[in-house]
Amino acid sequence: MPVLSAAHGITSVILSNLFVTLPLPQAHPDLTNQTIIVTGANTGLGLETSRHLLRLGVHKLIMAVRNPEKGASAKADLLTSTSRAPSTIEIWPLDMADPTSIQTFCQRAAQDLPRLDGVLANAGLMTQHFTVTANHENTLTVNVIHTFLLCLLLLPTMRASTKKTGYPCRFVVPNSGLHYVAPLGELTESTPGDESLLARLDDPARANMAGRYALSKVLVLWGVRELAARLQGGGKDSKDKDKDKEGSAGVEVIVNTPNPSYCVSSLGKEGDGPGVGARMAEKMLARTTEEGSRALFHGLVAGVESQGQYLTNCHVQTPACHITNEFGQRMQKKFFDELLAVLEEIQPGVSSNI
């Protein structure tokens, strides 16, 4: 974690939250015809982004939630605040910790949705407790591995929609300024043989759970950048992308990763909740949940310039140097190849969707 990069990240968050007001989402010309999926839509940033979508006239909102009862309560709240018809919202069960649930969800999307214009993969977690879910540490499973499983399984549906409507579907994965200060020791310290990155991160004896959420956002950035490069290159490795560049008219799916910045959220508030210092920091610096959701809404309507990009304050921003430098490029490729191998174990042939 280079010192200058970390300092830039910390300063950026403070200045952004104190002096930058994100623009209130405005009506989008295509939104009234669109179908958009929001995972984790019953609370926090997912709920507030859903509210903006409904307020601005989205045709169909799919609330993908782990608990349908909580989803129903959130739906009632959204309908009351936006005065939309109940048929505008559908609640679909989705447990991001369960690969079978993701597979079932994506099969339903392929069968039941005439079009799919955006996916906000908002569901995620922050924990300092090491547990294993679906053969991997829980944060990696939910925030990274299964998020990309959802994306790759939905790619045929997203592509079919783009070909039908001419409007490229957006797949949006929230990020965090914490990626600037993510501890990289778990990735860089010497390991025996040719140990995989994921195997290293799945080792409870060596896991740094205090920095695991931030590190998961580094992996998301590498994943988004590599996936976008391979989509642009027709499934080729990122090193071949410049040979196969297409214009914006050829883009079928836009993948980006916006940072809502430090904002009020239920994320990470486990157990007895945050301490006094964290509560004071939240009161002094944190954006409201609604304002943070504006960044996620922007990701859902951002143009082709956002392909594979990290977005902050509703515009493209260069991420930390350990994302873009030679180390980052090498690790990006290594991580994505490992990720695809894991996804192939879950769903054989899924990598051919790229």
Catalytic residue among 60, 75, 213, 241: 213
Q: What is the CA radius of gyration of the chain?
A: 19
257, 319 in Cβ contact below 8 A? no
Which residues on neighbouring strands pair with residue 65, listed in sequence order?
93
Place of tokens 């965090």: 176
The yes-or-no answer on residue 236 being catalytic is: no
Place of tokens 């623009």: 23
User: Of 87, 68, 155, which is closest to residue 116 (Cα–Cα)?
Assistant: 155
Question: Which uninterrupted H or E stretch holds 36?
Answer: strand 35-39
The yes-or-no answer on residue 243 being catalytic is: no
Alpha-helical regions (H) of 113-145? 138-139
Question: Distance between CA 30 and CA 112 in Å, rounded?
Answer: 21
Identify the burial level of 111 via C-beta atoms within 10 angstroms of its C-beta, where 0-12 means exposed, 13-18 middle and 19 or more buried. exposed
139, 216 in Cβ contact below 8 A? yes
Whole-number Cα distances in Å, 141 to 146, 191, 204, 248, 346:
6, 22, 14, 32, 12
Question: Which uninterrupted H or E stretch holds 159?
Answer: helix 146-165
Query: What are the strands, taking DSSP E only, across 135-289?
Result: 136-137, 169-172, 253-259
Place of tokens 């409870």: 204
Report residue 118: phi and psi, to 5°: -165, 145
The catalytic residues are: 213, 217
